[in-house]
Amino acid sequence: MLLHNKLQKDYTLNQSGYQLKLPLELETIIPKNDSVRLLSQFVEEMDLTDLYSTYDRINSLSPRTLLKIVLYSYMNGDYSSRSMELNCKRDINFMFLLEGHSAPDHATLAGFRSIHFAPCSKRILAEVSNILFDLGEISGETIFIDGTKIEANANKYTFVWKKAVTKNQAKLLIKLADFVAECEQLYDIKIVYGNVIKIKHLKRLRKKLYALKDAEHNLKFKYKNITADAGYESEENYLFLEANNQIAFIKPANYEISKTRKYKNDIGKIENMEYDKISDFYTCKNNRKLTVSHIRHNKTKTGYVSEKTIYTCENCSDCPYKSDCIKGNNCKTPLGERTKVLQVAKTFIKHRKEDLERIISDEGVLYRMNRSIQAEDSFGDIKQDIQFRRYLSKGTANVLAESTLLAIARNINKLHNKIQNGKTGTYLFPLKSA
């Protein structure tokens, strides 16, 4: 009979004489310097108008409370909606955030991320940055850019049935024509040429609409100095920053190798040839001229067109330096029949030279050191400390939403550590003196 009484769904029936010894007031349990208190205050300061606009009606739990729960879970390296639900029932810090409300269902938490938070994730991240800027924790002067790889199930292509497309093709074409006409009228964009809409016209429209979207700034400030690694060096990026009155501190792709003796002694490199700016020709090791033969244009995936000037040597026959000057062992043409050719992107070289002068200055060295510490350290914290190794969501929009949640959680954790260590108001790690 006793055994039968123990095997019941209600486990409290077996707790005869049990006395709860912990205080029931959560305020007395949670330390005053706990990060959950900072998170709650931080989210309370945020303008969440865009988030609230995604709801037709709000139930017992407000979107602000749900955001607190999800963010705090991400701050502690827990990304599963089922784990969030369980923590809301067991963890006093989550109960503190709930403010007496019942724990939300895991489906509610999952829907909050994908349906409500994802559409306005960029705006909410900008709001976080604005608050940090007002608090003096973001200088607004310099941004450090780096990249990392995290596995995801994101795909820009969606599956559609061919019959459904064919059936509605006529209606879609009419709507498409009306949309294009409206865009031409509203934004003064010429898309239709000869009363014909082609795929290239639509691509041009998409590009211009994205440009208009990007022009809508949500930040209160604009970064002046852009510090990035060699992977971000390109002519397109240099010109983009110049057009936006921003200063590039981008490490050239050949920065490390250019300091080696082998590179400096390579007679085939353009950097090691003499250049006559007035007459526009290069002189090789054998004192022979490389003159302009033609101009080549290359178009990137983003639509940017770069220009390269092709220089060809006047005569490479019987040159004693030919084997050292002309490289490329995979070329089918025999070395004796080949001629030295240089491809020179003049605009790119000009900006690279200017950028190189900046990154080797004291300011540039300071920024590059802090990029290695602050940007790469953030990825290290995300992957190692809070063990985020794979995106749980599918689709580009949801992956972006998760990335935003990670960024906000990282920022609040960092703010908490700075407050507790008395390092608020600091932006850059100083260079070590000799």
Render pLDDT for 272-326 as a digit per residue (tens, 0 to 9): 999 999 999 999 999 999 999 999 998 887 788 899 999 999 999 889 999 899 9
Confidence of residue 217 (pLDDT cuts 50, 70, 90): low
Cβ-contact 392, 118 below 8 angstroms: no
Rounded to the nearest 5 percent, the helix, strand and coil shares of the chain are 50, 10, 40
What letter would DSSP give residue 383? I
Please determine, for residue 3, whether its predicted confidence score (pLDDT) is greater than 60: no
- On whether the pTM is more than 0.85, the answer is no
What does the pLDDT read at residue 385?
A: 82
| Residue 186 confidence class, pLDDT cut points 50, 70, 90 | low
Q: Is 145 helix (H, G, I), strand (E, B) or coil?
A: strand
Q: Is the pLDDT of residue 15 over 60?
A: no
- Tracing tokens 């403010």 back to the chain, one arrives at 99
When mean pLDDT is compared across 49-53, 109-113, 135-139, 394-398, the lowest value belongs to 394-398
CA distances from 187 to 175, 180, 205, 211, 244 (A): 18, 10, 10, 12, 21
C-alpha pair distances (Å), 335 with each of 3, 132, 339: 92, 61, 8
Span 326-350, pLDDT tens digits: 987 777 888 888 899 999 999 999 9
Task: Report how far residue 365's alpha carbon sits from residue 362's, in angstroms, rounded to the nearest whole number.
Answer: 5
**Residue 287 zone, left/alpha/beta (φ > 0; ψ -120 to 50; rest):** left
The Cα–Cα gap between 266 and 259 comes to: 12
How far from each other are the two terminal CA atoms of the chain, in whole angstroms?
A: 80
DSSP letter at 8?
S
CA distances from 415 to 156, 311, 370 (A): 35, 54, 17
Identify the residue whose tokens are 């990007």: 214
Please give the full DSSP string across 170-215, using - where no structure is assigned. HHHHHHHHHHHHHHHHHH-----BTTB--HHHHHHHHHHHHHHHHT
Per-residue pLDDT, 196: 62
- The answer, yes or no, to whether residue 2 has pLDDT greater than 50, is no
Residue 138 has pLDDT above 50, yes or no: yes
> Which residue's entry shows tokens 């000057």?
325
Q: How much is the pLDDT for 215?
A: 44
Residue pair 181/174 in contact by the 8 Å Cβ criterion: no
| Residue 310 DSSP code | E
Span of 110-124, 208-222, 290-304 with lowest mean pLDDT = 208-222
Confidence category of residue 1, pLDDT binned at 50, 70, 90: very low
Give the residue among 335, 331, 327, 291 at the shortest CA–CA distance from 311. Answer: 291
54 close to 120: Cβ distance less than 8 angstroms: yes
Check residues 196 and 377 and name the one with the higher pLDDT.
Answer: 377
Reply yes or no on whether the pLDDT at 434 is more than 90. no
CA distance 31 to 25: 12
pLDDT digit string (tens) for 370-423? 998 988 888 888 888 888 888 888 888 888 999 999 999 999 999 999 999 999
What b/e string do you get for 409-421 counting C-beta neighbours within 10 Å, with b at 16 or more? bbbbbbbbeeeee
Query: Mean pLDDT for the chain?
Result: 84
Rounded Cα distance between 389 and 408, Å, is: 17
Rounded Cα gap, residues 238 and 246, in angstroms: 9
* DSSP state letter for 382: I
- Return the H-helix or E-strand segment holding 42: helix 35-44
CA–CA separation, 144 and 373 (whole Å): 10
CA distance 192 to 181: 8
Averaged pLDDT, 160-183:
68
Q: What is the pLDDT of residue 201?
A: 62
User: Hey, what are 73's tokens?
Assistant: 């879970």
Q: How many CB atoms lie within 10 A of CB 80?
A: 14
pLDDT band at 357 (very low <50, low <70, confident <90, very high): very high
Residue 100, pLDDT score:
86
Residue 426 CB contacts under 8 Å (≥ 6 apart), including other chains: 418
Return the exposure string of 118-156: e unless at least 16 CB atoms fall within 10 Å of the residue's CB, then b: bebbebbbbbbbbbbeeeebbbeebbbebeeeeebeeee
How many Cβ atoms from other residues are within 10 Å of residue 251's Cβ?
A: 20
What digits encode the pLDDT tens for the residues 220-257?
888 999 999 998 999 999 999 998 899 999 999 999 99
Residue pLDDT, tens place only, 19-77: 555 555 767 788 889 999 999 999 999 999 999 999 988 878 999 999 999 999 999 99
pLDDT surpassing 80 at residue 108: yes
Report the pLDDT value the prediction gives residue 431, as an integer from 0 to 100. 84
